[in-house]
Structure 1
Amino acid sequence: MIWTGPSIRLCAIGAALSAIAAAGPALAQDFSGSGFDATGRQQIEVVAVAQPVCNVSPGNASALSNATFTSEGASGGTVSITNLSNPQTALAQPVNVQVEVPVICNSAHEITVRSANGGLQRAGGTRDAVGGFVQFLPYQVRFDWAGQVLSGQSDDGAELAMSIPNAGEGALLVDVALDGSDAPLVAGAYEDTLQIEITAAN
C-alpha cells in the first residue's frame, strides 16, 4: 500500500511600512505640532499547504469461514486457509474472508488491486490441469469503499481500479471468496498475493 506523509509550509510576508508623511512640508508641520503620527503598520500573511495524503492502519478480519487472518500492521496481513482440500475427495473447499482496513484520505484518491498469480496457484505449478487434477484456483474479489463497490475475478488479467473524487475516511472492506473446485487438487502449497495501492491525488 502506498501513502505519503503530510507536509506544511509556513511563510511570512512583511508589507512596507506606511509613509509617515506625504511630503516634506507636511512632515515639518507634523514635527512642529502635537499631531505628529509615528504609527507604523505591518502586515504578516500566514499561508500553508495541506499536502494530499492517504494513511492506512492495520486491518482486522470481520468475517471468516475456513480461514484465519493474521495482521502484519499497516503493510497488510496473511489469510491462512484452514482446510483447502477435502480429505476424502481432494476437492477444494469453499473459503470466505472479509477484512476491514481503516483508511483516511484527505483528497481525491484511487485504489488499485492486482493479483500476483491471478489466483491460488500451487508452488512450482502452472494454471494447467495435470491428468484430471487442478493446481490453480481463481477466486472472487470484492471491495467496498466510500459508497462504491468493485468486484471481479482474480484471473481476469487486469487490475481492478476505483477512483474516488473526494476525501474519505472509514473502513475499506476487502472480501475474498473461493467456491471450491469440480476437480481434485494436486497436493502442495498454494498461494497468491493481492496488492492494494491507495494513492492520493496530487
Structure 2
Amino acid sequence: MVQADDLCTRLRSLVHSCLSRHLYTGAIFYADKLATISKQSSADVFLLAQVRVACTQLTQMLSMHTSPIWGALQAYFVAKQYRRALALIQNTGLTNCDPRCRYLAARCLAKCKEWEECLVLLGEETEPDEACDKEPEHILGSTLSLNASICLLRAQAYQALDNRGRAVHWYRTALHSDAYCYEAFIALVEVSVGERRRGCLAESGTQQQS
C-alpha cells in the first residue's frame, strides 16, 4: 500500500508536470487532492493557491525548466502570445529536435483554432508506445507522460473538427498511455453523458410521435 508521504510526493510531481504542459484542470485536481491527503499542510495549501493563480494570471513561479528559450516559450504561451511562441519555435528549429517544443507549438495552433495544422504538426497517428521515442521514462503517477499529452491534444483537435469517433479513440489512448491524464478521463465522461442524453431525447421523440 502506498504510504501517505510517497503519495504526496507523487501528487506534487503530477501538479508540476500538468503545469509544465499547461493542463490546468489536471493541475488543480491533483493539487486539491494533495492538500486533502497532506491534511492541509501549509506548503501544499500554498501550492494549491499557486496553481489557481497560474490558471488565471501570467505566472511562471512553478516552472520546472531553466532553459532561457523554453522559459520564453512558456512566457509567451501563458501571455496568450501564441504567434510569437510559434515564430520562436520555428525560427530555432526546435520542432524537429525537441518533442516538448513540438507539443507546445501544436498547443499554440490549437489555441488559434488551427486544428488541421495542429494535427499535421503532431505528425502521424502512432500509438503511445511508438510515439515520442525521445521522451525519458517517467514513473507512473509522478509525472504526466508526454505521449498522453500528445494523444489528448490530438483528441481535442478531432473533437473540434466534429470527428467524434477519432476524438474518443484518442481520449482513450491518452488514458491508456497514462491513467493520470485527468483531462482525458473527464472528456470521456462528458462524451458518455452526451451520448446518453441524445439517446434519451431520441427515444422521447419517438414515443411522442407514436
TM-score (norm 1): 0.23
Higher strand proportion: 1
Larger radius of gyration: 1
Higher helix proportion: 2
Higher relative contact order by CA 8 Å / sep ≥ 6: 1 or 2? 1
TM-score (norm 2): 0.23
